[in-house]
Structure 1
């Protein structure tokens, strides 16, 4: 089956197989197979092609949206996503909505949550009003670690304003009973989205933007498992973080 969406995207730019191949750094025959045979490229090549075409990678290749099944090497492991962009926003929202005791978020910015779900602050207020303790730790835009991450991910100074934007999104929650907001300057090895006994871990890979790095969904199955490892990591960072004043 041919890939008509890809064919149309290329036609819209007046590109041949060779034109797209040059930008993606593959053989023109490879692009031809993507179009005429409906082949799905490797994720890295698909991302480069989508960026070059100005199109959505999952619209061009829907198969890349499906999370791959993970071999259960840990009883805590629920699902493994090849990259953060594969995780539906509904997964984050559903986890937050069912939290009853604890919500912990450790990120540098993660502004995609507010952008994809504008009611995020309202949801956090609702959870706090029902007795759920909410802790949000954002990256300090002035910290050396944030600036270094920008260089490593080839983001330049882009990550610093995103940290400031994230703080702007969450600042209305300062002073809300049950919600604490802090900034941190740690080297962020993983972004964490924890609710009660579950956590989404966005692993960070050198030179890769967070949306392109893997995410594993963990559920606590017992003491000293993977879930506990990450929640203890959050606690350690939280102790070093600075409260955001109103």
Structure 2
């Protein structure tokens, strides 16, 4: 019996059925997670469970968390996904919700976040009001690099259109102090999303859109490790970037 999981469900008054729905699994699977000794859900399900119950992974499955601890140079790599689209939406929600100091979205368009995260703008406004720094690093919709990448992607929903969607959404929330945006072309083939000491990194592949790109979930564990090097890259681009001014035209392609 996983007493920690059973107790967390009781504390939150979450039934087997409700947890199954939250994880998109059969209710019998939840029953096995609770009753079968040593039964550990897949990583994506553990994230969904932790989010639903408001608990830490090491509390619910201490043995699995201990086994996952690394000591080598790859210890900052939490998870690897062959596609960004296979990185669970629940992971993004959890990282956004838990961040207290910094949220940096250095994707070339950041368009998918507005589609996949419910009430994303409201969440960002709330985070900024609580003192969390919120930054967006975007490609310019009118740059020659954007036009070149549009030819590479050759999809109906162009990069410039996706950037303008993000600009339009940012326009709605930038009256809240603490939310800022800049343009940069330096991350056209590398998206970096930072949530305090967690990070999602996506190196974009030629002729592929972002959701097809391989994706890493990193967590900072050392100085000048992978996390710090990607963070420094983004800071350099931010310092060089051109401000996105409030009220800037964005409606026309």
Question: Which deviates more from structure 2 when the two are superposed, residues 113-122 or residues 94-103?
Answer: 113-122
Question: How many residue pairs end up in the alignment?
Answer: 179
Q: Over aligned residues, Cα RMSD in angstroms?
A: 2.2
2:176 counterpart of 1:182: no
Q: TM-score, normalising length from structure 2? A: 0.66
Work out the CA distance in 2 between the residues paired with 1:194 and 1:172.
22
Q: TM-score, normalising length from structure 1? A: 0.67
Work out the CA distance in 2 between the residues paired with 1:175 and 1:230.
29
What corresponds to 2:88 in structure 1?
A: 88
Q: Is the Cα contact below 8 Å between 2:104 and 2:135 reproduced in 1?
A: yes
Work out the CA distance in 1 between the residues paired with 2:175 and 2:192.
23
Work out the CA distance in 2 between the residues paired with 1:138 and 1:178.
17
Q: Is the Cα contact below 8 Å between 2:107 and 2:187 reproduced in 1?
A: no
What corresponds to 2:212 in structure 1?
A: 212
1:180-232 CA-to-partner distances (Å, cap 9, x unmatched) read 12222335221111011010001111111111110100000100100011111
What corresponds to 1:112 in structure 2?
A: 112
What corresponds to 1:101 in structure 2?
A: 101
Q: 5+ residue gaps in structure 1?
A: 1-64
Work out the CA distance in 2 between the residues paired with 1:111 and 1:118.
13
Alpha-carbon shift at residue 123 of structure 1 (Å): 0.7
Q: Is the Cα contact below 8 Å between 1:145 and 1:187 reproduced in 2?
A: no
Q: 5+ residue gaps in structure 2?
A: 1-43, 46-67, 247-253
Q: Tell me, what secondary structure is at the counterpart of 1:113?
A: helix
1:123-157 CA-to-partner distances (Å, cap 9, x unmatched) read 11111111111111121100112112222223377
1:82-130 CA-to-partner distances (Å, cap 9, x unmatched) read 0011012121111011001111110121312111223111111111111
Q: Is the Cα contact below 8 Å between 2:108 and 2:187 reproduced in 1?
A: no
Alpha-carbon shift at residue 78 of structure 1 (Å): 0.2
1:13-56 CA-to-partner distances (Å, cap 9, x unmatched) read xxxxxxxxxxxxxxxxxxxxxxxxxxxxxxxxxxxxxxxxxxxx
2:199 counterpart of 1:199: yes
Work out the CA distance in 1 between the residues paired with 2:75 and 2:116.
31
Alpha-carbon shift at residue 161 of structure 1 (Å): 1.0
Q: Is the Cα contact below 8 Å between 1:101 and 1:133 reproduced in 2?
A: yes
2:141 counterpart of 1:147: no
What corresponds to 2:167 in structure 1?
A: 167
Work out the CA distance in 2 between the residues paired with 1:155 and 1:171.
26
Q: Tell me, what secondary structure is at the counterpart of 2:138?
A: strand
Work out the CA distance in 2 between the residues paired with 1:239 and 1:147.
24
Distance 1:187 1:220, change over 3 A: closer
Structure-to-structure mapping, 1:36-55, within 5 angstroms? none
4+ residue stretches of structure 1 with deviation over 3 A? Answer: none
Structure-to-structure mapping, 1:115-126, within 5 angstroms? 115-126=115-126
Q: Is the Cα contact below 8 Å between 1:89 and 1:113 reproduced in 2?
A: no
